[in-house]
Amino acid sequence: MSDTRLVHLRLDKSLVEALDREAGDRSRSAIVTEALAEYLRKRRLVAVIRGAAGSLSPEEPAAWRSADATDAWVRERRKEWDQGTGA
């Protein structure tokens, strides 16, 4: 048996009706579990993006304006790293 917990939720009647119409052979629990997992994944992603805000210097995005420029930027960062001068 999987490691699950019984959780009681209060949902709008219209939401439950829509859930039942869309569920097909799937259980409410399976759909709600999937939806909640996706919601939490997106929230974590937003937190990571916000945490990284401002981590680039103003010059770095300009180096990514073309594929060739991006390749050159990556090669330079790798060279710095290999020389021990990169972060």
pLDDT in tens, 56-87: 777 777 777 889 988 998 899 899 988 876 55
| CA dist., res. 26 & res. 32, Å (int) | 10
> Looking at the domain assignment, is residue 8 inside a domain?
no
> Looking at the domain assignment, is residue 80 inside a domain?
yes
> Looking at the domain assignment, is residue 33 inside a domain?
yes
Residue range of the domain that includes 31: 13-52
Rounded to 5°, the CA angle 28-32-38 comes to 150
Domain total of the chain: 2
Instruction: State whether 18 and 47 are in the same domain.
Output: yes
> Looking at the domain assignment, is residue 5 inside a domain?
no
This prediction's pTM? 0.60
Instruction: State whether 23 and 48 are in the same domain.
Output: yes
Instruction: State whether 63 and 34 are in the same domain.
Output: no
Residue 9 has pLDDT above 90, yes or no: yes
